[in-house]
Structure 1
């Protein structure tokens, strides 16, 4: 995969607020990663339907050893969830929804709204008891569109660095914990037969003393676990809504 002209996303490095690219540039970089993920190295298949793949960015010398990415893709029937139901959970109020079905995610907070489609959030995770809490601050940019009669929703997350003096008031909103970094691209795509494809590519570093090679090793399994967690949460919410309507 050739690197996008804007390598801020594929390299997964934190960006200062003053250096954030345009929303169009962020979305273009995200779409390039999604397109390239079809040709990444195939990995395990989880629960017989969640296919995974991986990609290693070239190092400056052209050798393997750069940022690692993991991708997972799954298809879902209308009975599992409609396009609107998937996009409502993944593309709308993303952070506030995730705290309801991701066990390790304990706190989320809106840091700054840049536009109706771009917001900076800080996410606070409590992992295994022997590990310190982790804090990830990201800019989330979303776009909902229709291409060739197919609906498509994309949300790109890029790591944000609030260490600049002019951002100290915003940095005060972050919880105390080890700073990690997280970049991702998610797409909800409408398919024929009212099916939905959910594709996600992500790169992460837990920071602290956790070796990066360990984070990379478990990444495909970690992103794949979100699928059944989300489906259960979505079905539970659907059931509550249907019960409320019948009362």
Structure 2
């Protein structure tokens, strides 16, 4: 059983309000403690699902929900679940002065281990790194059918940032706000827009086995920011997802791909039904990605290359690779969040009950 001391206020489904983001001109003295706090929560939270040094109690936090397989993946995909109780969340909120509605936070995890090879059914390390560390937004839009818009709304300069956390040295940081728009059943159902703060970093070369992580945290009131775009579009319903993704090389040379996520589509469908659906579909991104990367290889006739950029070029290269997709539609902003409060995961009453049923059966691990 987890305790409130193991949980933190940042990597939660309730998200962060705009006012808690670093200032637009933040330097390393402001960014370092911020990203360190995120890693301090995210890394030990997700690690017991696939621990580096398995303790006897590790798996008790994450309950197995079986394994899945698909024709596009030669690896099986294990599915796990962890439920953070209302009592635990209330303890975290009380400790950190957060005001929010409280529902159980159900995390769905998928875990798969892949051969390091640019061939059908798997992918190479370079392909994983290129797709997820360097081009996360573009990749997600390319291989996920329901993603119809992506916009990097904000980026912080993390050049030179290094952090020691969870027994590792981390560098090559990226910190952005990404807006993603998902269709969930047009024309009857409203699109969902997910504004998230996205942190990525990698183990410093020469200090450990290759590894990188991507942490995504909701920013539900991002429509109040003058940098917002997709979050302000007409008829897009703001929704929530928090995720921790870890991709690393194992001692046998294989690639471990671990992702945990909790979400709320913010419609009228009860969360417990959404959570059941999430557990049933979280694994599907693996065959989707591997099928897509195989088709990309066929188009180019060569494997995707992601040789590490020269020092100081990460931010420039990643900025150039990020999709800038907009539709130019304006909309009403989300209400601002009061001091000391987390953005509320509000439900919209105007959606028909037919949408509630569909929300539980359509979409991907987010929508």
1:163-202 deviations in whole A, cap 9, x for unaligned?
Answer: 585x2x2234423311110100001110133210000000
Name whichever of 58-67 and 93-102 sits farther off.
58-67
CA contact (8 A) 1:123 1:135 kept: yes
Q: Conserved in 1, the CA contact under 8 Å of 2:180 and 2:230?
A: no
Where is the strand percentage greater, Structure 1 or Structure 2? 1
Structure 2: any 5+ residue segments left out of the alignment? 22-32, 51-58, 70-74, 91-101, 159-173, 305-367
Contact 2:15 2:220 in 1 (8 A): yes
Question: Offset at 1:214?
Answer: 1.7
Q: 2:84 aligns with which of 39, 44, 57?
A: 57
Question: Which structure has the larger Rg over C-alpha atoms?
Answer: 2
Paired position in structure 2 for 1:150: 209
- TM-score of the two chains, using structure 2 as the length reference: 0.61
Q: CA shift at 1:57, angstroms?
A: 0.6
- What do you get for the CA RMSD once the two structures are aligned? 2.6
What does 1:96-245 correspond to in 2, within 5 Å?
96-116=138-158, 117-129=174-186, 130-145=188-203, 149-162=208-221, 167=225, 169-174=226-231, 175-176=233-234, 177-242=236-301
What is the distance in 1 between the residues matched to 2:157 and 2:269? 35
- Listed as ranges, the matches of 1:3-14 within 5 Å are 3=4, 4=6, 6-9=8-11, 11-14=12-15
Give the corresponding residue for 1:35: 47
Is the aligned partner of 1:44 residue 2:66? yes
| Structure 2 residue matching 1:100: 3-state secondary structure | helix
The CA distance in 2 between the partners of 1:228 and 1:5, in whole Å, is 31
Provide the rounded CA distance (Å) in 2 between the counterparts of 1:172 and 1:232: 31
- Residues of 1 paired with 2:67 and 2:292: CA distance? 22
Provide structure 1 residue ranges, at least 5 long, that are not aligned to the other structure: none
- Which deviates more from structure 2 when the two are superposed, residues 80-89 or residues 12-21? 12-21
8 Å Cα contact 2:220-2:239 kept in structure 1: no
**Alpha-carbon distance, 1:236 to partner:** 2.0
1:18 counterpart residue number: 19
Say which of 83, 94, 98 aligns to 2:125. 83
For 1:243 and 1:153, the matched residues in 2 are separated by: 24
Aligned length: 242
Matches of 1:99 and 1:62, distance apart in 2? 32
Contact 1:27 1:141 in 2 (8 A): no
Relative distance call for 1:62 and 1:197 in structure 2 (3 A) is closer
